[in-house]
Structure 1
Amino acid sequence: MFDQWDELQQLYDTLNQELVSQDLEGSRRVKVQKKAALISSVLEKKAEIDQMQAMIVDTKDQAKQTTDPELSAMFAEESESLEKGLVVLQNELDDLLYPAEEFADRAIFLEIRAGAGGKEAALFAADLLKMYIYYAAKRGWRFEMVSESYTDLGGFKEVIVNITGKKVFGALRHESGVHRVQRVPETETQGRVHTSTATVVVLPEAQEIDVTINPSDLRVDYFRSSGAGGQHVNTTDSAVRITHIPTGTVVSCQDERSQHKNKATAMKVLSSRILAANQEKLLKEQSRDRKLLIGSGDRSEKIRTYNYPQNRVTDHQADITLKKLDMVMLGELDEIIDALQMLARQNRQSESSLLEPV
């Protein structure tokens, strides 16, 4: 809970004094104006909260002093309404003090790859995809396949999908990492429990202003599509593979019949991967001293275990265990997502920069 209100007011006064100076350089002025405007909004919201709290105290005092049942009921109703309003104001203050994570409103590219465990890992990757499809449908998001590589048992070696909707990245960003499954594989004849893994990567969809890619840094290859898609995709070089030479990032897309559409989609995925890599590098640099890499979405980090024999799922980031794996696999992810977002909020609170110099 932020409680340095006197220091914040002093900083606001100092920034305003700086703004009236005619010697203030242009780029510095923009930064100071931005910081002063944010602090002004925070202080105004704090004043609204103080006023609301005073009204609540006053209403409760009046309720204690009256002996009229009707007045007592009226005061109780008003007090309840004011307290609900106070919660709303406090949440609004929190949003100003600890802004939502960057790109929270963005659409995403969700990538799932089979890890250790062979064909069973590929089947688990397919199950994870279904889980996210169910969750997306529940949230009213749009779900579109981008690229997939099947196995003969119906699993996925790799699958990439695009999910669009309200606050998609904000909800799913903490899904990045290694997901581990413990169950008896369909191919297991002796009933032994095996452990397999799949890796999930959640990329915010890049926009033109986020990433600049020099066309000369790209190698574009066209090849014949394979797998699902009908006769047409197997007789034309519609599939596209784009290599970003400086980083070695490779993206393939063969889901569309049109070579042009596949290239456009591959470029979107490539831009999103480069954006995510830049953000991950920045986060590590910022966190090197603070040591706050908990829940960073590191792709090597084991984040969740799905235990089928015990119908149990454990999220290791939020330290939460649910005994309803069957429902989770049907898209009932809200408890886990909410816990992860609460953890992220706590981390943002611990590293608030409002009082830091401009």
Structure 2
Amino acid sequence: MDYLQQQLAEIDQRIAEANKLLDDPELKDLAELEITELKKQKQELEQSASTSSPNQGQYDQADEVNPNVANIEIRAAAGGDEAGLFAGDLLRMYLRLSETQQWRVEELDRSEGGLGQIKQVTLQIKGKGAYTALKFESGVHRVQRVPKTESSGRIHTSTATVAVLPEIRETEVYINPAEIEFEAFRSGGAGGQNVNKVNTAVRVKHLPTGLVVTAQTERSQLQNRENAMNLLRAKIWELERSKDVGNVEAERAKQVGTGERNEKIRTYNYPQNRLTDHRIGKSWHNLEDILEGHLGPVIKALQEATDFSKSPEDE
């Protein structure tokens, strides 16, 4: 039984138990309220399932991942306030790219600082070829520019990390419910009265690996739980694929590094209007356009370099 079916079964069981209380005059009113709420939760969960169903069946039979769904985590790293502002710039770049590609974006989690800074944000992007294109964005991104708050005109260097995880078939990763620790809490972000006043946000911890994921932007706790479980499944898949399940931090470092300035895959140099991808040693001198979401040439160059580097044995 998958996670969605398990949740629906639990709700049906609770509805059946509440129905038994309807004959008790003292508990009838409470039972009716609980049944109404449970039916509402069931409806929201079924609607959530139907919303995600268009992506089902799009896996290649030989693939474990869905090429059309990407989970992106952006985190401010070294550089203080400027790193948070740069993380916001990267977020905007990926949102603009998604608009040009007609990909659908759903924000799963967000933590903000002051003055428009982004500490951390998690997105799920759905659309044709989304993961295939975005998987090359994983790593440390470095920015070189003069901050607006810098009166002397001195160039600062800051970094943000990006991790891109795929959507995984449920059959590829089994998560034992007994090894999951759930915590519900009130969301601290936008999303309406219900989101902020009810414990709709969810934090999920996978006890064997110590992985923790959070989802808090949906109005329903059940929808947030479903989003969190999907993201957790992707992270566990990454660990299993790396054959390094005993060291979570080492696996994360392989993809996004530690965030230090010298561990970079890409540099955004504002004074020179230049973006350089250090993995392929290539630069583009239209930084403003790229930050507006025009990443096509960069993605294409990375894909071509990857295809060229494959040996005949890889084909």
The 1:158–1:164 alpha-carbon spacing in structure 2 relative to 1, beyond 3 Å, is same
Spell out structure 1 runs of 4+ moving beyond 4 A. Answer: none
1:204 aligns with 2:180: no
Give SS of 1:211's match. Answer: coil
| Separation in 1, partners of 2:295, 2:92 | 12
1:142 aligns with 2:104: yes
Aligned counterparts, 1:86-97, within 5 A = none
1:131 aligns with 2:88: no
Give the aligned partner of residue 156 of structure 1. 118
Is 2:75–2:120's contact at 8 Å kept on the other side of the alignment?
Answer: yes
| Separation in 1, partners of 2:275, 2:289 | 10
Which residue of 137, 149, 173 maps to 1:187? Answer: 149
The 1:345–1:104 alpha-carbon spacing in structure 2 relative to 1, beyond 3 Å, is farther
Q: Work out which of the two has the higher radius of gyration on C-alpha atoms and give 1 or 2.
A: 1
Aligned-residue identity in percent: 48
Structure with greater strand percent:
2
- Computed over aligned residues only, the root mean square deviation of the Cα atoms, in angstroms, reads 2.0
Gaps of 5+ in 1: 1-99, 283-295
TM-score (norm 1): 0.64
Name the stretch that deviates more: 227-236 or 249-258: 227-236
Give the aligned partner of residue 193 of structure 2. 231
Which residue of 123, 127, 137 maps to 1:165? Answer: 127
- Report the residue type matching 2:210 in the other structure: G
Which residue of 151, 174, 178 maps to 1:216? Answer: 178
Give the aligned partner of residue 241 of structure 1. 203
| Separation in 1, partners of 2:294, 2:203 | 35
1:299 aligns with 2:260: no
1:257 aligns with 2:193: no
Shift of 1:347: 2.3
- Report the residue type matching 2:189 in the other structure: G
| Separation in 2, partners of 1:148, 1:109 | 13
| Separation in 1, partners of 2:193, 2:66 | 40
Aligned counterparts, 1:36-75, within 5 A = none
Give the aligned partner of residue 72 of structure 1. none
The 1:343–1:236 alpha-carbon spacing in structure 2 relative to 1, beyond 3 Å, is same
1:313 aligns with 2:270: no
| Separation in 2, partners of 1:353, 1:322 | 30
Shift of 1:134: 1.1
| Separation in 1, partners of 2:264, 2:110 | 23
Give SS of 1:336's match. Answer: helix
Give SS of 1:213's match. Answer: coil
Shift of 1:230: 3.3
Give the aligned partner of residue 347 of structure 1. 309
Query: Paired residues, what number?
Result: 241
Give SS of 1:233's match. Answer: helix
| Separation in 2, partners of 1:199, 1:332 | 20
Is 1:101–1:170's contact at 8 Å kept on the other side of the alignment?
Answer: no
Which residue of 171, 174, 187 maps to 2:136? Answer: 174
1:119 aligns with 2:81: yes
